[in-house]
Amino acid sequence: MAARRARVREDTTIIDQSTSLNERDKLILKTLVLNSKTTTTDIANKLNISDVATRRRIKRLEEDGTILFYTTILNPKRLGFNVVAHMLIETEPSRIDEVARELAELPNVVDLGTLLGDASIYAVVWAADLEDLEKIVREHIGKISYIKKIHTYLLAKPYKINGVKLGNGRVPYDGRGEA
């Protein structure tokens, strides 16, 4: 018997699964995640509430830490970084934070966090090409004390970034860096 796929609405996101937000706050967050430059007036019109009420809701979401900050999602290939490497790094258990802080200082490390499991740290590294990646690992990451092992996986094609599906009509992407 073939497995059935769960039916999910096309515009459903992780935000919809939150049990701590009301529907208006969810719509505000979904709108801002898709385009953080959306005006409060546009959001207010979507919600059918005043601009002032919308600003107040956004301010509360910022102050309670739901919205950490606003940013722009960059396309590494458009910046000349043709290799995106996801690394799982094993370290001495007592040195995880120390190693993570050192990795955070490297400009090519664009995402970084600690893990529970076989690996201690994950890092996303952007490099111009494989030769550049090898140099970053050899001359920088590999020289950090207390790293025991690095598992490297090269990203072939992204399908979703920050909860937003790519190539869905709203965020065009062809997998070669063409947005």
The pLDDT assigned to 9 comes to: 47
Q: Assign 136 to helix, strand or coil.
A: helix
The pLDDT assigned to 93 comes to: 94
The pLDDT assigned to 73 comes to: 86
167: left (phi over 0), alpha (psi -120 to 50) or beta: left
Taking only the tens place, the pLDDT of each residue in 12-58 is: 788 989 999 999 999 999 999 988 999 999 999 999 999 999 999 99
Residue 171 has pLDDT above 70, yes or no: no
Taking only the tens place, the pLDDT of each residue in 148-157 is: 999 999 999 8
Residue 172 has pLDDT above 80, yes or no: no
The pLDDT assigned to 1 comes to: 47
Q: What confidence category does residue 10 fall into, taking pLDDT thresholds of 50, 70 and 90? A: low
- Ordered structural domains, the chain, with CATH: 14-63 (1.10.10.10), 76-154 (3.30.70.920)
| Closest alpha carbon to 61 in 104, 113, 6, 18 | 18
| Closest alpha carbon to 109 in 154, 155, 140, 151 | 140
| Closest alpha carbon to 104 in 75, 129, 132, 125 | 125
Q: What is the helix (H) or strand (E) element at residue 32, kind and residue range?
A: helix 23-34
What phi and psi values does residue 85 have, to the nearest 5 degrees?
-110, 130
Instruction: Report the pLDDT averaged over residues 130-139.
Output: 98
Residue 114 has pLDDT above 70, yes or no: yes
Distance CA 160, CA 173 (A): 10
Q: What confidence category does residue 162 fall into, taking pLDDT thresholds of 50, 70 and 90? A: confident
Where helices occur in 35-162 by DSSP H, the ranges are: 40-47, 51-63, 96-104, 130-139
Q: What confidence category does residue 174 fall into, taking pLDDT thresholds of 50, 70 and 90? A: low
Taking only the tens place, the pLDDT of each residue in 57-95 is: 999 999 999 999 998 888 999 999 999 999 999 999 999
Residue 84 near residue 136 (C-beta atoms within 8 A): no
What phi and psi values does residue 164 have, to the nearest 5 degrees?
-105, 120
The pLDDT assigned to 165 comes to: 82
